[in-house]
Amino acid sequence: AQRVTQPEKLLSVFKGAPVELKCNYSYSGSPELFWYVQYSRQRLQLLLRHISRESIKGFTADLNKGETSFHLKKPFAQEEDSAMYYCALSGGSGNTPLVFGKGTRLSVIA
């Protein structure tokens, strides 16, 4: 079964401190992993996907197949990073919708 686990419901950090949002997954094949973000009063939007190996708004995420993790990291948090973050998985078979974690609310304190 496909499962995405985000162990932290809430993460509070001070501005300028490093951030790591944890995500672990369970999938028997080779999954594709994503991070989605929902800022206050905005709709859910894609932040980054692992296949692109990109850095968006200073965030990066590395897929670790050995640990089945896809943690989201940023070296220096900004107040505007405060939002709800969802890790999501796709089976990559071309016919399966995304499986989301329950989300982590990041609060960056000035």
Tokens of 16: 């300028």
Question: Residue 76: CB partners within 8 Å, gap ≥ 6?
Answer: 16, 17, 18, 58
Cβ-based neighbour number of residue 11 at 10 Å: 17
Among 45, 55, 64, 107, the residue binding another protein under the rule CB under 8 A is 45
Among 46, 55, 57, 75, the residue binding another protein under the rule CB under 8 A is 46
Residue type at position 76:
F
CB 44 within 8 A of CB 93: no
- The distance of closest approach from Cβ of residue 46 to another protein in the complex, given in angstroms and rounded to an integer, is 5
- The distance of closest approach from Cβ of residue 106 to another protein in the complex, given in angstroms and rounded to an integer, is 15
List beta partners, residue 48.
35
Which range of residues in 15-23, 40-48, 63-71, 72-80 is near another protein by CB under 8 A?
A: 40-48
Q: Counting contacts by CB under 8 A, is residue 98 touching another protein?
A: yes
- The distance of closest approach from Cβ of residue 104 to another protein in the complex, given in angstroms and rounded to an integer, is 10
Q: Counting contacts by CB under 8 A, is residue 8 touching another protein?
A: no
Gap between the Cα atoms of 65 and 76, Å rounded:
26
- Return residues touching another protein (CB under 8 A): 6, 32, 43-46, 49, 51, 86, 90, 92-103
